[in-house]
Amino acid sequence: MTVLFSDGFESGDYRGWSFVQAHDKSQGPGGPGNRVGTASSLGVKPHGGSYAAQFERPASATSRPHAKVFKEWSNTGKWDEFGRRMGPLPNGGNPSGTYRAWFQFPADYKASSSGWMNLFQFKEQGSKNGKWHQDPSWWLNVSSASKWGQGGSEPVVFANHWNNKWDYTPKTMKLPVGRWFEVRAELYEKDRIEWYVDGKLLDVSKHSTYPVGRFFDKSDGWVFGVGHYQGVGRVLVDDASMSTRSGGSASAPPPPGDTAAPEPVASPTPPGGTGGTDGKDTITLWVAGDQYQGAPHFDLLVDGKQIADGAATVSRADGGWQKLTFEADLDGARTLGVRFDNDLWGGGSSRDRNLWIDKVAVNGTVFQAEDGLLNGQNRLGKEALYFNSTLGFDLGKVAGLSA
């Protein structure tokens, strides 16, 4: 790995970054509550060295909710806020790499139950549809757990992307408060972003859901940002960095868990399953579970009618997938559905029951979970069902089935 950027605010200011986003100086860096300071001025010992940055949004702030800093790379040699010419990323501007930053939220931090705050983000800048843009692509948000119908008011962190329609409930993790914790993003352009919070995998954002990396008509560069955007409250940031790895998306390893454990041997009617063995068509599922107080249970549906059921007894945390095989007569069938029906959430990421689906095969025709329709409406775009819902597939794409 090669470190391309690293800043712990040890200069005593924001000069390690290229742009200080503070349209309203009373609300952004440089205004009250937003500064680089020491333990004595911030009231908190920095994560490393003598300095850390504080970003604060008071309740009175109503306009221009920007309190953050950017590190930019430019393909055309633009100048940054401090009069320095910015260079491009290596490998033709490929943003693939490891991005890190350390954060500390107050122990009494209150997240919004209706909105969110942005603490860590990626942007692309350049020409899109004939106009210059600097648009965010993927980022991490903090909101109240109650925003997602998950119970209490504790703050949770989750991944988000530009133009998100929110036709799903995101994977969340309880926000660490009252201490320093690391956010790490492993970005593989045109493949995925692995989000790690406090050393634990939060989520995997996929290029098939929204572009990962560059996709503008003419890209001028890449942006990495940290701070406090939207929301109300105070957050400290320290020791941010970006490192490149050799290769790019072409050399990206499999996502976490894909190859960590061998698949169990399948049986025609697996333990926990009640599928029949008289049919001529074969349905195979690769599943895993977040098994809080029991394994995730699902029903297998054909044209909306239950034909079998099963349970994901392999833990997603342990890696690998459980292979379950069912048989049924699918002549004339139009849709296949996997209905998750025993969701449970106990107030944190370690107390959350979810059903993960890697793929489904019907007579050898493979459907990726991301391409299934959630409750018959929108493409899922992920591998997990986080609430009671049905993932559906079009059997018209299976060769050899009678119409």
Nearest to 169 by CA among 182, 153, 151, 186: 151
pLDDT at 219: 86
For residue 22, the one-letter residue type is A
Q: Which CATH topology does 2-251 take?
A: Jelly Rolls (2.60.120)
Sheet holding 218-229, edge to edge: 19-21, 68-74, 218-229, 117-128, 131-144, 155-161, 173-174
* Spans of all domains in the chain: 2-251, 281-397
Q: Which CATH class is domain 281-397?
A: mainly beta
pLDDT at 241: 93
User: What global pTM score does this model have?
Assistant: 0.63
pLDDT in tens, the chain (403 residues): 588 999 999 999 999 999 887 444 544 454 557 889 999 999 999 998 899 999 887 766 655 567 889 999 999 899 998 999 999 998 889 999 999 999 999 998 888 766 788 999 999 988 878 888 788 899 999 998 888 877 678 899 999 999 888 877 889 999 999 999 999 999 999 999 999 998 889 999 999 999 999 998 888 899 999 998 877 788 999 999 999 875 444 456 777 754 333 333 333 333 333 333 445 789 999 999 998 888 889 989 998 888 888 888 888 888 888 999 998 889 888 899 999 888 887 776 778 889 999 999 999 899 999 888 888 777 777 788 888 888 999 998 888 776 5
Tell me how far apart the alpha carbons of residues 140 and 248 are, in angstroms, rounded to a whole number: 22
State whether residue 54 is helix, strand or coil: strand
pLDDT at 2: 80
Element spanning 57, H or E: strand 52-57
pLDDT at 259: 36
Q: Is 319 exposed, middle or buried (0-12, 13-18, 19+ CB in 10 A)?
A: middle
